[in-house]
Structure 1
Amino acid sequence: MPFRVTWSNLLDNVEELPADATLLTPVSQKPFQITDVQQHRMLIEYQTGSETVPLQREQFETLFQRVDDAAGAFDLDRLPPGAEPYATVASLHPRFTIDDRDGTLSESETPTASPLVDAHTVEHNDTSREEPDISVYADSLLLIDALEQHDVTSLTDLEMPTLVNLYTLLSDVQRNANDLRQDVRGVLLDRLHHDQPVSGQYGSVQRTARKNRTLKHDETVLERLEAQGIAPERVMSIDASKVDDALEVTALSESDVYDIEESEYVRKADVDEEMKQTRLQGLKDQLAGADEDTTELQAEIEELEQRITELTSFDSGTSYHTRSTGG
C-alpha cells in the first residue's frame, strides 16, 4: 500500500480522537497530547512541559518502513532518542499494533486499538465514585480521618488513646499497603521488559536484579578454601542455636555467653475490627452524602463519634510494651 494512503488513514484516526485524549510513549510512559494535525506533520505537547514538538510525515514513513523491514515486528528499544511518540501515534493506524509486554510495533491484517491511547484517555466521569474492596483503602480512610482530627506535628501533646489509635491504624495501613505493593510488583515484573525506567504520574520504576547467595555444603566450602590456603578455623563460627542447646544441659547462664542489652518497644496487641467498621461506615456515609443535604446524617455521625470516643477511652497509664533479650 502506498504510504500516502497509510498517512491519510492515520490522519483520519488521529482527528477522531477526543480533544482531551492523553497518549503515552511506549517505553518511558510519558503522557502527551496531540494539539494540532496538519497535512505534513502533527504537533504534540508533553504534560510535563509546554514545549510543542512536531512529528514529521517523513519520519512516520521511515518508521513504517522499518516495521516492514523487520518482518512485521519492530523492537521499540531501537527507536532513536525522542522518537517514542512516533510509535504511539503510529499505533493509532488500524494496521499497526504496539505490544506492551514484548516492546514491539508490528503490522497486522486485523484492525486493533492502541493500548497506549484507549487505556489512558482522560475522561470526565460524572458518575458516583466506587469504593475499592481492599483492606488498605478502608484503613487509609480511617487513618486520614484520625490525622484530620489531631495535630500530629506535636505528638507529645496527644493523649494516650489517640496515640494508640494512630499507632494501630499506621500499622494496619503499612501491612496492607505492603501486601498490595507485592501484588502490583508481580504484575509490573511481567510487563517491564528492559532496564529503562518507566514513568507514571507520581514516579518511575525500573526492572532490576539482585543476587541471593546461599553457601554450599560446609564440607565443600571448607575443602575449596583449604585448597587455596585458607585454614578452616578462619571461616568457622559459633552457631547460636547450638549454644542455646548447650546451655540447657550446663550450669551456665545466658549472661555467661551472651552480651545482653535490653530494649523496649511498642507492638500492636489487638485490633477492634468491629469498632473500625462502625467508624468506617460513618465516614463512607459522609462521602456518599457530600453533595446532598446531610444535616440529619451529620448529627447521627457526631453522635456515633461520641459513642466511639466513650467506648475506646481507657486509663492513660495503660501501655503495651514487651522486653526482649538478645539471643
Structure 2
Amino acid sequence: MSFRVSWHNLIERLDELPEGATLRTPLSHDRFRITDVQEHRVVIRFTHSGDSQPLQQDQFETLYRRITDSEAGFELDRLPPNADPYPAVWSLHPRFEIDEDASVIVEKDGPTTTQILDAGDETESEQKERTEPDLDVYADALLLVDVLERHEVTTLDEMDTDVLVNLYTLLSDVQRNGNDLRKDVSDVLLSRLHHDQPVSGPFGSVQRTTRRNRSLKPDEEVLETLEEAGIERERVLGVDRSKVDDAIEVTPLSDSDVYDIEESAYVRKAEVDEEHKETRLQGLKDQLAATEGNEAKELRGEIKELENRIAELTEFKSGSRFHTHTRGGP
C-alpha cells in the first residue's frame, strides 16, 4: 500500500474520531487531542499544557517510509525531539501498531491497537483528587513557601536574624531532600533513556549522558607501564597527601609546616528543630484544608509551582530535526 493511500485512510480515521478523544504519546506519555485535520497536516493540542503543535504530512511520510522499510519496525528511541505524537497518530491507522515493550512502531496485517485512551479513564484521571505525597521535600517545601509568603526576602539585609536562620535551614533541607529525590528519579529514568536521545516532558527534556571516571591502577603496575614507555619514575612520583597527614601525627610538626593554609568563613546548619517544624507544618495543612475559594487555589498553585521547580532536573535542550520548517517530526 502506498503512502498516499495510507495517508488518506488515516485522515478518514481521524475525521471519525469522537469529540474529545484523547491520545497518549508512547515515550513521554503526554496526552493530546486532535483539534484540526487538513489535507497536508494534523493539528494537536496537549491537554496538560494547552500548547498546540502542527504535525506535517511530509513528516508522516518520513516515518511511514522508515516503518515499512524495516521488518522489525521503527525504533521509537530514534525519534527526533518533539516527534513523539507522530507514531501515536499513526497508530490510529488499521495497519500500524505501537509495541511499547519493544519500543517500536510496526506495520501489521491483522487487527491493531491504538494510543487512544478511553474517555472514562481520562475523566477518572482528571478528576482524581490531589493527595499529599509522603515526601520530606514536600513538607519542607510547604514550610519554605510559608516563610517566603510572610517575609520580604528581596531585602535580606533588613530581615531579623532568626528569620534568616529559618530561611537558611529550610533552603538547606529542601536542597538536600530534593537532591535525594532527584537521584531516585534519575535512577528510574536511566532505565528508560537510550541512545542519547532527548525525551521531552511539559517542563523540559532529559537525555542519557555518560560520565567517564578514572582511577589509577596499582602504583607498581603504573610505574612499570610508564617505564616501558620511556617515562622515568621520578617524573610521576609526588607527595601523597594522605601519607603526609599520617606522618604529621607521629611528629612534632604542625599543619602550617607543610600546608599553605587559607581560612574562609561559611554558614553551616548545626541542627534542626523537627518538633517546631512539624507543629508549623500541621498548622499549614489545617489552614489549607479549611481554606476555600481563590485564596486556597492561589496557595495550592504556589505550592505546586514550587514542587515543579524542585522537580526540574535539566535545562531545555533541543536536538536535530529532519525538517527545519516545522516544530517536529520523524
Q: TM-score, normalised by structure 1?
A: 0.71
Equivalent in the alignment of 1:245:
246
The letter of the residue matching 2:43 is I
Equivalent in the alignment of 1:309:
none
SS in 2 for 1:266: coil
User: What pairs with 1:101-250 in structure 2 (closer than 5 Å)?
Assistant: 102-107=102-107, 111-114=112-115, 125-126=126-127, 128-250=129-251
> CA offset at residue 218 of structure 1?
0.7
> CA offset at residue 140 of structure 1?
0.5
Query: For residues 79-137 of structure 1, what are the alpha-carbon distances to aligned partners after superposition, in whole Å with 9 as ceiling and x for unaligned?
Result: 6899754312022457643345744113566754528999x969883554211111111
SS in 1 for 2:134: coil
Aligned pair count reads: 289
SS in 2 for 1:191: coil
CA distance in 2, matches of 1:122, 1:51: 23
CA distance in 2, matches of 1:115, 1:239: 63
The letter of the residue matching 2:262 is E
Please, which moves more after superposition, 190-199 or 100-109? 100-109
SS in 1 for 2:231: coil
> CA offset at residue 63 of structure 1?
5.2
- Structure 2 gaps of 5+ residues are 296-330
The letter of the residue matching 1:202 is F
Equivalent in the alignment of 1:73:
73
Equivalent in the alignment of 1:324:
none
> Is the CA contact (8 Å cut-off) linking 1:29 and 1:199 kept in structure 2?
no
Identity %: 54
CA distance in 2, matches of 1:263, 1:103: 53
> CA offset at residue 23 of structure 1?
4.8
SS in 2 for 1:34: strand
Equivalent in the alignment of 1:318:
none
> Is the CA contact (8 Å cut-off) linking 1:44 and 1:55 kept in structure 2?
no
> Is the CA contact (8 Å cut-off) linking 2:44 and 2:54 kept in structure 1?
yes
> CA offset at residue 230 of structure 1?
2.0
User: What pairs with 1:234-313 in structure 2 (closer than 5 Å)?
Assistant: 234-291=235-292
> CA offset at residue 165 of structure 1?
0.7
CA distance in 1, matches of 2:65, 2:182: 41
Higher relative contact order (CA 8 A, sep 6+): 2
SS in 2 for 1:98: strand
Query: For residues 199-227 of structure 1, what are the alpha-carbon distances to aligned partners after superposition, in whole Å with 9 as ceiling and x for unaligned?
Result: 22211111111211111111111112122
Equivalent in the alignment of 1:43:
42
Query: For residues 240-270 of structure 1, what are the alpha-carbon distances to aligned partners after superposition, in whole Å with 9 as ceiling and x for unaligned?
Result: 2222222222222221111122222222111
SS in 1 for 2:105: strand
> Is the CA contact (8 Å cut-off) linking 1:22 and 1:117 kept in structure 2?
no
Larger radius of gyration: 1
- Structure 1 gaps of 5+ residues are 295-327
For the aligned residue pairs, the C-alpha RMSD in angstroms reads 4.1
In structure 2, the CA distance between the partners of 1:172 and 1:195, relative to structure 1 (3 Å rule), is same
Q: TM-score, normalised by structure 2?
A: 0.71
> CA offset at residue 146 of structure 1?
0.6
> Is the CA contact (8 Å cut-off) linking 1:43 and 1:53 kept in structure 2?
yes
> Is the CA contact (8 Å cut-off) linking 1:97 and 1:113 kept in structure 2?
yes
> Is the CA contact (8 Å cut-off) linking 1:87 and 1:105 kept in structure 2?
yes
